[in-house]
Amino acid sequence: MTNLKVDISKTLNFIEMKEIESLENEAVSNLQKLIDKTGKGNDFLGWVNLPSEITSEIIQDIKNEAEKIRKMAEVYVVVGIGGSYLGSRAVIEALNHNFSNQLNEKDRSHPVVLFAGNNISEDYLSELLEILDKKDYAMTVISKSGTTTEPAIAFRILKNHIEKKYGKAEAVKRIIAVTDKARGALKQLATDEGYKTYDIPDDIGGRFSVLTPVGLLPIAVAGFDIAKLVEGAKNMQKETTENKSIKNNPALLYAITRNILYRKNKTIEILANYQPSLMYLMEWWKQLYGESEGKENKGIIPVSVNFTADLHSMGQYIQEGLRNIFETVISVEQSKKKLTIPVDAGNLDQLNFLSGKRLQEVNKMAELGTMLAHIDGGVPNINISIPILNEESIGELIYFFEIACGISGYILQVNPFDQPGVEAYKKNMFALLGKPGFEKQTEEIKKRL
């Protein structure tokens, strides 16, 4: 039994329970297609059984490698884009001290984790190099092909930097490649140079890869218990693949409810949270659902907000804007630390009525008050609750969103496991940069510009 709960009661002013029940058989059938690997995109369903297939030996090997990195590096750079970095960053940020990068080195037991290869900003990479000039570092480059533009550019620059800083022999010890097990430019380079490597399974796409070495190695380097993370995912795998009814399967309930709302022209899903450390989990969720469902002129648009901060910006639109939205809120029931509001003799801010209350209670009342306001404003609310931000709960949440995404994509009748539209911008970019073989496109695109 998992700790994650889904509550759809605050959608029932907008949809009826019988509508959800009418889609249950179809959703269960779609779940079975994921389990049996008989649906669209079935070549990329290795993630479905992944948690239960991760052995203690695999976990220990990754832990051992992470310990080597921690001993040699003050900074650890993860080079990747999309699923090659968002999953690990989501988990690390969710579990980390909110000000981890600002802590003194003596107060940290692990390297500062920094990310590269997720953009082509000259300032960003230049400023990263300024940091790496002054710090001992190691890095992991993550790419199935080794030719994805953003990480390939970053790795070329960082490889040059680390070899100049330490010499080639020492640099080899500080570089790990996570890539295809048999082919591709990065695999060839890793073999030629002698890098330690981990495999990206052929049947797992990037946005579903957080529980492979793609995510587990950086998370372990950051000091978190990957065994507990996997255990949480394994528990959710059991709950969502063995239970075939909406009463006992939160993924079925979530997938069905969001699709019923979509059919009623609620075309935008806003994922909200009240913990700043969940911001990158929101980014991971946006990639997972946007890249999986946005096809054939279909799909719910995934948007995220961080409350209460965004209540002072996006809150106005959510309350009174176009009524094509619904809201899914991730609730964290307990905080890890305790802080109460003091009495102030002057009470100029008129907040003495809060004296003695914990911030967690105030935050929770803000959450409940916002939910009621948004419902009154015509926005259905789905609630996903976890007890606390720890490895097990985050593991549950990751697998929950993954399996629900597969079910939901099949309800939409798209292939949730490809991303044909991702290549469009690259073709234009290569043409504009004069890549060999793109001469005709270069001529055509320059006329358009």
Query: How far is CA 219 from each of CA 23, 112, 296, 322, rounded to the nearest angstrom?
Result: 38, 12, 35, 40
How many whole angstroms separate alpha carbon 77 and alpha carbon 124?
13
| 159 annotated active-site | no
Pick the CATH number of 50-227 from 3.40.50.1820, 3.40.50.10490, 3.40.640.10, 3.40.630.30: 3.40.50.10490
Say which amino acid occupies 47: W
Pick from 348, 347, 360: nearest CA to 388: 360
CA atoms within 13 A on the CB side of 411: 30
pLDDT in tens, 178-221: 999 999 999 999 999 999 999 999 999 999 999 999 999 999 99
Query: In CATH terms, are 5-40+229-420 and 50-227 the same topology?
Result: yes
Average pLDDT, the chain: 94
Catalytic one among 106, 312, 338, 447? 312
Q: Could you tell me the residue ranges of all domains in the chain?
A: 5-40+229-420, 50-227, 423-449
pLDDT at 107: 67
pLDDT digits (tens, 9 = 90+) for 384-415: 999 999 999 999 999 999 999 999 999 999 99
Q: What per-residue confidence (pLDDT) applies to 239?
A: 97
In the block, tokens 């297609």 appear at: 33
The pLDDT value recorded for residue 427 is: 77
Percent above pLDDT 70 for the chain: 98
**Which of 426, 439, 443, 446 is flagged as catalytic?**
426
Structure confidence at residue 423 (pLDDT): 67
What dihedral angle (degrees, nearest 10) is formed by the CA atoms of 13, 16, 21, 26? Answer: -90
Can 374 be counted among the known catalytic residues?
no
Q: Which residues pair with 331 in a beta bridge?
A: 385
Which listed residue (65, 231, 291, 402) is catalytic?
291
Active-site residue 447, yes or no? Answer: no
Whole-prediction pTM value? 0.94
The whole-number pLDDT of residue 232 equals 98
Question: Residues 394, 95: contact at Cβ < 8 Å?
Answer: yes
**In the predicted model, what is the mean pLDDT of residues 149-173?**
97
Decide if 299 contacts 109 (C-beta within 8 A): no
> pLDDT (tens digit, 9 = 90+) per residue, 37-86?
999 999 999 999 999 999 999 999 999 999 999 999 999 999 999 989 99
Contact partners, residue 7, CB within 8 Å, separation at least 6 = 382, 383, 384, 385
Residue 377 has a pLDDT of 97
Domain 5-40+229-420 part of CATH 3.30.420.40: no
The percent of residues above 90 in pLDDT, for the chain, comes to 88
Looking at the predicted structure, is the pLDDT value of residue 426 above 80?
no
Interval 15-39: pLDDT, tens = 999 999 999 999 999 999 999 999 9
Q: What is the pLDDT of residues 309-348, one digit of tens each?
A: 999 999 999 999 999 999 999 999 999 999 999 999 999 9
Q: 279-304, pLDDT tens digit by residue?
A: 999 999 999 999 999 999 999 999 99
3-state secondary structure of 178: strand
